[in-house]
Amino acid sequence: MTRKVLLADDHALVRRGLRALIDSYDGFEVVGEASDGREALALCRQLEPDLAVMDLSMPGLNGLDAMRRIVKAVPTCNVVMLSMHAAEHYVIEALRAGACAYVIKDAAPEALEVALVRAGKGLRYLSPPLPASLLEQAARMDNASIDPAGSYLTSRQREILQLIAEGHSTREIADRLHISIKTVETHRAQLMQRLGIHDVAGLTRHAIRCGLISPDT
């Protein structure tokens, strides 16, 4: 069964390139092209594609806002967000706005194919080098009753809190994040002070409460 794909990118040459690439994948067919968010929304309503591959930053109606409206208007359409941004702020924002998959434009072309295959089945996907933990994080941020204090941590603090809660040592955290041990210690001290929690068990409970890790890990 061939899945219908709508393509939205403000740059015609990029659209042509994407189209050539997607048409070369088995089981996908590009049925329409839009050059901005508004057009994408209109075409989705009209063509009811199975998938929409959209650039995150577009003029007129930007990709994020267009997607919010598309997932509402055409619930059967899963959105693969394309973006040059690898910063987690964008990824989480896109996932929370309803993206099924998030693919960095500079990722290998296979990533787009994987994203389409998975999103075609309604499964979520992040292209490398994005960590899969962002998926859980975004999902839990929506579902869990978020402890207000948890949302006032910086992204670095959340990252370190999560790694501590998962049982990693200071050295492991430093290696993983490419920062010094002293920096990890400073952040840990600051986040403990911020949360008013001074032991690892307490931090772990807090991480579960605000959705950074799941209770069964």
Nearest to another protein of 28, 74 (CB atom): 28
Q: Using CA atoms of 12, 17, 18, 23 in order, give the dihedral in degrees to the nearest 10.
A: 120
**Minimum CB–partner distance for residue 76 and another protein (Å):** 27
Q: How far apart are CA 183 and CA 169, in angstroms?
A: 13
Q: What are the counts of helices (DSSP H) followed by strands (DSSP E) for the chain?
A: 10, 6
Residue reference for tokens 């370190």: 160
**Minimum CB–partner distance for residue 216 and another protein (Å):** 27
Query: Residue numbers of the site for another protein (CB under 8 A)?
Result: 11, 13-14, 16-18, 20-21, 24, 57, 84-85, 87, 89-90, 93, 105-106, 109, 151-156, 177-180, 182-183, 186-187, 190, 194
Nearest to another protein of 51, 191 (CB atom): 191
**Minimum CB–partner distance for residue 16 and another protein (Å):** 7
Nearest to another protein of 74, 187 (CB atom): 187
Is 102 in contact with 130 (CB distance < 8 Å)?
A: yes
Tell me how far apart the terminal alpha carbons of the chain are, to the nearest angstrom: 37
Closest to 126 measured CA to CA, from 157, 159, 87: 87
**Minimum CB–partner distance for residue 46 and another protein (Å):** 26
Nearest to another protein of 74, 162 (CB atom): 162
**Minimum CB–partner distance for residue 87 and another protein (Å):** 5
Nearest to another protein of 14, 139 (CB atom): 14
Nearest to another protein of 89, 201 (CB atom): 89
Q: How far apart are CA 156 and CA 2, in angstroms?
A: 42
Question: At 109, which helix (H) or strand (E)?
Answer: helix 109-120
Q: How far apart are CA 6 and CA 164, in angstroms?
A: 42
**Minimum CB–partner distance for residue 122 and another protein (Å):** 26
